[in-house]
Homo-oligomer: A and B are copies of this chain.
């Protein structure tokens, strides 16, 4: 007999997990039903269900009513952040997200949900150098991958620079806001020389789960990115929510 120090539901979870990690149960494959687990391990369905719940919390398994639980597929899109990359894409007039996604053979899209002037939230105020609660322009967008929502991206812009510009209009800006910032005819007329990107990783809240269709056990990256111009002013703060089952991050850092 195996030493049964661990409770039954963990033993069941352990064995299923091994099958998944060795590839015996491939991504997309069906797990044994809770009833068959109940029989196989001589326990109740409640306990079998708890074992499956463990694997869902680990992000290895997804399930929904009426269907068999299945092994979750692995992440797909790489989000690549490098200085030269940004510069090249600015020149080409494509957004970073679109370029990355297309390079990986998928169909990107984005939708502008809302553009509004709002009191500045604290994490943004810190970075943008305005007072908390001061008015800022917020552009709220959702990025799509093959038609499915895949990122929520809110852009924040100082009113003193962007009031009355295309940033305030609920319409795509050709080449993105970065292009407008660097446009020699635009409201800023300065080059962006630096991005600072902060990643905080946590489990999503139910609102985020719903908005992004995140399955159980999938972490969320909250990415706060500020763009600084040559004069040192922060002209944009992006606040993104990125589900970690569909993305990996790559940063390229050159050392002087």
The answer to whether A253 touches B219, judged by C-beta atoms less than 8 angstroms apart, is no
A196 within 8 Å of B by Cβ?
yes
Write the chain B residue with the least CB distance to A200: B248
In the bound assembly, the distance between CA atoms of A244 and B222 in angstroms comes to 12
A217 within 8 Å of B by Cβ?
yes
The answer to whether B221 touches A201, judged by C-beta atoms less than 8 angstroms apart, is yes
Number of copies: 2
User: Which bucket holds chain A's interface residue count?
Assistant: 35 or more
Contact of A195 among B83, B84, B252 (CB under 8 A): B252
State how many angstroms separate the Cβ of A136 from the closest Cβ of chain B: 22
State how many angstroms separate the Cβ of A251 from the closest Cβ of chain B: 5
Contact of A256 among B60, B83, B195 (CB under 8 A): B83
Write the chain B residue with the least CB distance to A243: B201
**For chain A residues 231-256, which have a beta carbon within 8 Å of chain B?**
244, 248-256
State how many angstroms separate the Cβ of A238 from the closest Cβ of chain B: 13
A161 within 8 Å of B by Cβ?
no
7 additional A-B residue pairs with CB within 8 Å, beyond A57-B216, A87-B256, A194-B253: A84-B255, A86-B253, A87-B255, A194-B255, A197-B253, A199-B248, A201-B201
